[in-house]
Structure 1
Amino acid sequence: MKKYIIYIGFLLLGLVIGWIVFKGKSAPEGENTEHNHVEHTEQIWTCSMHPQIRQPEPGDCPICGMDLIPLEENANENPLVFTMSDNAVKIANIQTTVLGGSVNSENGIVISGKIKSDETVSSSIVTHVAGRIEKLYISYTGQSVSQGQKVADIYSPQLIAAQKELIEANKVKSTNSTLYQAAYNKLKNWKLNDKQIQSILDSETIIETFAIYAQFSGVVKTKKVSVGDYLKEGGVLFDIQSLSKVWAVFDAYETDIANINVGDPIVFTTTSYPDEQFTAKINFIDPLINPSTRTVSVRANVQNLNSKLKPDMFINGRIERTPNQKSTLLVPKSAVLWTGKRSVVYLKLPNEAVPSFEYKNIEIGETIGDSYIVISGLKPGDEVVTNGAFVIDASAQLNNQASMMNQNLISSEIDTEIIDLPDYKSETNEEFKRQLNHLLSSYYTLKDALVEDNAKEAKEKANHLIQSLDKIDMKLLKGDAHLYWMVQQQIIQENGKKLANTDEIQEQRDFFNKISNAMISSIKAFGTTTVVYEQFCPMAKDNKGAFWLSASSEILNPYFGATMLNCGEIKNEIK
């Protein structure tokens, strides 16, 4: 008996020790297994170009077919900030520009321009008598010419006849000085000099060709004749341009005119001599504004004795700043998603682990060249997206984040002022408006199902909504309106399908909210043939608020149904 008791004691002791040992080893494995399981189930896969796609396993994007990538968790929950993968940035060709100092920088007003020929020191070499060019001593454009230099020989029957008249008049000079003086002056008026005329009188020999001499020094700007050409009286042989003086002509923005005066000193450099500064004073401000560039020409005379400055050289100048001058910040047109005076840009956030772009409302003023004047919202040093901003905006809307097209996204972190939407009503085909109205009718039946807390009927009505959407002919829209509708259509279609595939009414209401935002944007952008009421519940979406559309002014809340049926207010009556 004692033996059995001892055996049983050893057996129990072994079981206890084994349980302790194996429990200690298996616990971590269990924890690891559980951890790995949790880690696996928490991994979400998304599309780099369609971030609204969320799937629990890798595969292809159902929209574009691209390989899904692991979703990178974004610690920044600000709905104004949209993140993209490096691959998505490359595919979308996102480009940015850092806004530099203002047009009126702290060092003065920065302007650019070109060197131009001084029109006051240009001339033409002409023949004062009709004739044929027998020989040219200037053969190409750009050749230097000195004053008094022989440039051509000309054969002229008129000159031959005039010489004969002078010789005969010289014979009766003592008795008829008037005839002699008239013959002499005729040759003089044809620009023969006294030496040439005296040579004719002394030799009493007819000179068949006469030389043409340059009256000015410079370079040949245009060569207009060749040997053998016959010219009429006053015909041009060469255009001569002196480069001893040139004009520095700058384009000053319209906003800077008040700060520029005749006599202001200006310092400029050229790309050919970047380390050398040239100085001059403004002596002329064009009284007319260029209507296409909204700039004014500002001119300064520059001495160019060493001929360093060549016409059409690009130059960058600076007019010293005075205390009363105001700075003007410009933003490239390509960075602005235009919605009226109040517009949208995307700023690239610095020092972020993944490319992040912040939605930003700005106020813009007049157009200056390829830029807008910034009234408010930006500062020097901000890095704005200049290529691909529309891609970011469309992706942000598809992800239900703040965007130019998503005016109804309101939270405690977003300015609740309604953002202006693009207005395509005047250019929208009436047939498209009627088709959009049919879609609106399907939307109302979906809303009513959610008002009645009927998830099954909501699924059915969501399918009807998609069918109505498919009947809309987007070819009726052109240009930007067409692109705008494509984004709204995609949002309605994707969220309509998701709503139709879930039985959870709260999930249905979340999808309905995204559909509503796209419907409101569409109705406001393209117009409607009926009266539509835009209604708002401040308690929906965890007190962030949500909008919906209704055919009547009565408040029937689709986000709470019977729980808070009449919670809400009319925000807008769209006619």
Structure 2
Amino acid sequence: MKKENIIYIGIAVVVGLLAGYLIFGGNTETTTSDEHDHSAEIASGEMWTCSMHPQIMQPEPGSCPICGMDLIPADNGGEGLAVNQIKMTENAMVLAGVETVMVGSGVSGGDSVKISGKVAINQESDAVQSAYFDGRIESISINFEGEEVRKGQKLATIYAPALVSAQQELLTAGKLKESQPQLYKAVRNKLKLWKLSDAQIDQIESSGQVLENFPVYANVSGVVSEIMVEEGDYIKTGSPLVKVANLNSVWAIFDAYENQLSLFKEGQTLDVSTNSYPNETFTAKVSFVAPLLNKQTRTLEVRVELDNKNGMLKPGMFVQAEVEVANKRDGEALTIPESAVLWTGMRSLVYVQPNQNSSTFEMREVELGNLMNGSYVVNSGLQSGEMIVAKGTFTVDAAAQLQGKKSMMNQKGTAMQKGHEGHSEMGNGMKMEFSQEVASKFGDLLKVYLDLKDALVASNQDQTQKLAKNGAEIASEIKSLQMDDMGKSHITQLASQLKEIASKSDLEGQREAFVLLSQNMIQIGQQMKGLDAKLYVQHCPMANNDKGANWLSMEEEIRNPYYGDAMLTCGSVVGTID
């Protein structure tokens, strides 16, 4: 029995060893191979990213923590790239809606320059009604500024002791005019010096009554622009009573920038338009070009005179004008779309595609001329035939920031700081300066924008229209304030984009226009100092026909304005503005 047991045990051990070899021995090489491959992967530094959220970077494959999609190998094509170059995947370019255009082709470089200004009272026809004698204002017959008056209309009544005495002298001299005609004539002339008409003097003489409260009549017809006295005021000879403006002719005053100085001269014809009458064009001639340049804003005043007999143009109304530009360059001027330019205050930047067959882009500083019909004239920095990013420029620059490359806000090309949960903090390398007045007004516009965003989240198209109209008015007010060419260009775009949203009654159209509005608000917000609160730059990869779109929010929590309840939390925070 013992020998049999030993034999059985021996057989069992042999069988067990054989089975173990067959089961585990064959996989030993595979396991070793897997471990080797994984180590090699880590050693190679290969990273994995999300095609929808390129800010996600992980050292191993898995799922995107934002959208759950499978991660894909990140492009390691950055080797050999200059610090001002960035390489994007084809998929990322499609999602970002990146479009390129050739410099000098595909863009019509127009032959006119647009400038903005305001309607003002023509001071040459602005009359001041003054007092011709000392006295006290007993009553005022005009009620408010803006009231129309006609020549000969009573404006006020004045108690004038000297005039009472002069009237008494007239009545006495009238009784002696047969015997002392010279005295009678002298008294009448004295009253005429106080601007009393012959009819008024005759009326006093025929009635035999002295007027204690003497009426003052308007010398001209027009609109009361300012009431300068109140009842009970004591006045002296020559004291102004009211200002009356004749609005049959008005001025339009424009601020032209230093680089536009050569475009204007007296007698030049301009086509003036206003948002109030989009289908009307007013022809005017330049009547005055200021001889002195404003040292702070680097602008000079250009004034034109407009016929306004129909009363369409109101003082304070915003207007635009176009001036024809003669191309003084040899050959065709190089032009690029306005959307291709990134502004940093002191610099103008574009992204050039050195090789059309490669998705590599290079940031380049350029010097720009006048803005003509949506395109800038290029003075230096680009050559004809070069390819530049015309759409999606901001997204390309954002990708450069995420990769630690040189960008509009990161001139040194160092990696950006990381905030909590890996969200990138926007840099503050912007150099553009806004006045306190502009910053304050932009704060009002920002509040309207955030309310507009919430209205889109709630899918409320009526409220969106109302807020966009309000925002357009504020943007137009900001546009009239003093700022440099770059700032005015972006604020002008804001006003235009808000008007476009206000003109659309369908939610889809409003959300489509909101894409560019948000992009512009982000660019200006990054340059504006003194914002009241921290802003989050948020991104939805599905919006804008799967091209992706950004927006600003005061809350870190995602509330998607492009889809509302349908995809309320779709998106992520891609940056912040402090």
Normalised TM-score (structure 2): 0.50
Which residue is equivalent to 2:210?
206
SS of corresponding position for 1:277: strand
Structure 1 residue 249: deviation in Å?
Answer: 2.4
Aligned: 1:304 with 2:311? no
**Aligned partner letter, 2:251:** W
Change (3 A) 1:248 1:292: same
Which residue is equivalent to 2:238?
234
Change (3 A) 1:96 1:215: farther
Aligned partners of 2:74 and 2:225: how far apart in 1?
67
Aligned: 1:220 with 2:224? yes
Aligned: 1:255 with 2:259? yes
Aligned partners of 1:113 and 1:305: how far apart in 2?
20
Question: Where does 1:47-86 land on structure 2 (aligned, <5 Å)?
Answer: 53-58=57-62, 70-71=71-72, 73-74=74-75, 79=81, 80-83=85-88
> Is the Cα contact below 8 Å between 1:134 and 1:155 reproduced in 2?
yes
Change (3 A) 1:189 1:251: same
Could you give the per-residue CA deviations for residues 513-543 of structure 1, whole angstroms, max 9, x where no partner exists?
A: xxxxxxxxxxxxxxxxxxxxxxxxxxxxxxx
SS of corresponding position for 1:275: strand
Aligned partners of 1:100 and 1:162: how far apart in 2?
80
> Is the Cα contact below 8 Å between 2:61 and 2:72 reproduced in 1?
no
> Is the Cα contact below 8 Å between 2:86 and 2:400 reproduced in 1?
no
Change (3 A) 1:139 1:344: closer
SS of corresponding position for 1:148: coil
Structure 1 residue 318: deviation in Å?
Answer: 1.6
Aligned: 1:358 with 2:356? no
Aligned: 1:283 with 2:287? yes
Aligned partners of 2:135 and 2:406: how far apart in 1?
82
Change (3 A) 1:404 1:184: same
Question: Where does 1:360-379 land on structure 2 (aligned, <5 Å)?
Answer: 360-364=363-367, 374-377=378-381
Aligned partners of 2:258 and 2:406: how far apart in 1?
41
Given candidates 156, 169, 178, the residue that maps to 2:160 is 156
> Is the Cα contact below 8 Å between 1:148 and 1:214 reproduced in 2?
yes
Question: Where does 1:413-424 land on structure 2 (aligned, <5 Å)?
Answer: none
SS of corresponding position for 2:127: strand
Aligned partners of 2:204 and 2:47: how far apart in 1?
105
Aligned partners of 1:100 and 1:250: how far apart in 2?
30
> Is the Cα contact below 8 Å between 1:285 and 1:297 reproduced in 2?
yes
Could you give the per-residue CA deviations for residues 440-459 of structure 1, whole angstroms, max 9, x where no partner exists?
A: xxxxxxxxxxxxxxxxxxxx
> Is the Cα contact below 8 Å between 1:345 and 1:385 reproduced in 2?
no
> Is the Cα contact below 8 Å between 2:56 and 2:64 reproduced in 1?
no
**Aligned partner letter, 1:159:** L
> Is the Cα contact below 8 Å between 2:114 and 2:323 reproduced in 1?
yes
Change (3 A) 1:100 1:66: farther
> Is the Cα contact below 8 Å between 1:337 and 1:389 reproduced in 2?
no
> Is the Cα contact below 8 Å between 1:334 and 1:387 reproduced in 2?
no
Aligned partners of 1:72 and 1:111: how far apart in 2?
50
Structure 1 residue 75: deviation in Å?
Answer: 9.6
> Is the Cα contact below 8 Å between 2:109 and 2:376 reproduced in 1?
no
Structure 1 residue 128: deviation in Å?
Answer: 1.4
Question: Where does 1:77-226 land on structure 2 (aligned, <5 Å)?
Answer: 79=81, 80-83=85-88, 105-226=109-230
> Is the Cα contact below 8 Å between 1:345 and 1:389 reproduced in 2?
no
SS of corresponding position for 2:204: helix
SS of corresponding position for 1:276: strand
> Is the Cα contact below 8 Å between 2:99 and 2:389 reproduced in 1?
no
Aligned partners of 1:88 and 1:109: how far apart in 2?
33
> Is the Cα contact below 8 Å between 1:154 and 1:211 reproduced in 2?
yes
Change (3 A) 1:243 1:382: farther
Structure 1 residue 45: deviation in Å?
Answer: 3.1
Query: Which consecutive unaligned segments of at least 5 residues does structure 2 have?
Result: 1-29, 415-428, 430-526, 528-578
Could you give the per-residue CA deviations for residues 482-523 of structure 1, whole angstroms, max 9, x where no partner exists?
A: xxxxxxxxxxxxxxxxxxxxxxxxxxxxxxxxxxxxxxxxxx
Aligned partners of 1:359 and 1:105: how far apart in 2?
24
Structure 1 vs Structure 2: percent identity of aligned residues?
31
SS of corresponding position for 1:308: coil
Aligned partners of 2:99 and 2:316: how far apart in 1?
31
Aligned partners of 2:243 and 2:124: how far apart in 1?
13
Normalised TM-score (structure 1): 0.50
Aligned partners of 2:250 and 2:334: how far apart in 1?
30
Given candidates 23, 26, 45, the residue that maps to 2:48 is 45
**Aligned partner letter, 1:223:** I
- Matched pairs, number: 359
Which residue is equivalent to 2:298?
294
Change (3 A) 1:375 1:152: same
SS of corresponding position for 2:404: helix
Structure 1 residue 376: deviation in Å?
Answer: 2.6
Question: What is the root-mean-square deviation of aligned Cα atoms in Å?
Answer: 5.3
Aligned: 1:272 with 2:276? yes
Could you give the per-residue CA deviations for residues 381-432 of structure 1, whole angstroms, max 9, x where no partner exists?
A: 85377868886544333699xx84259xxxxxxxxxxxxxx9xxxxxxxxxx
> Is the Cα contact below 8 Å between 1:137 and 1:151 reproduced in 2?
yes
Aligned partners of 1:308 and 1:266: how far apart in 2?
18
Structure 1 residue 271: deviation in Å?
Answer: 0.3
Structure 1 residue 284: deviation in Å?
Answer: 2.2
SS of corresponding position for 2:165: helix
Aligned partners of 1:404 and 1:187: how far apart in 2?
78
Aligned partners of 1:230 and 1:263: how far apart in 2?
46
Aligned partners of 2:300 and 2:220: how far apart in 1?
32
Which residue is equivalent to 2:439?
none
SS of corresponding position for 1:274: strand
Aligned partners of 2:93 and 2:398: how far apart in 1?
10
**Aligned partner letter, 1:397:** G
Aligned partners of 1:109 and 1:219: how far apart in 2?
34
SS of corresponding position for 1:397: coil
Aligned partners of 2:300 and 2:55: how far apart in 1?
47
Aligned partners of 2:72 and 2:137: how far apart in 1?
83
Given candidates 394, 404, 410, the residue that maps to 1:397 is 404
Change (3 A) 1:94 1:347: farther
> Is the Cα contact below 8 Å between 2:260 and 2:370 reproduced in 1?
no
SS of corresponding position for 2:205: helix
**Aligned partner letter, 2:48:** W
Change (3 A) 1:248 1:208: same
**Aligned partner letter, 1:143:** E
Question: Where does 1:477-556 land on structure 2 (aligned, <5 Å)?
Answer: none
Could you give the per-residue CA deviations for residues 250-271 of structure 1, whole angstroms, max 9, x where no partner exists?
A: 3333223323332222212110
Aligned partners of 2:213 and 2:339: how far apart in 1?
64
**Aligned partner letter, 1:360:** M
Change (3 A) 1:52 1:271: closer
> Is the Cα contact below 8 Å between 1:131 and 1:154 reproduced in 2?
yes
Structure 1 residue 197: deviation in Å?
Answer: 0.8
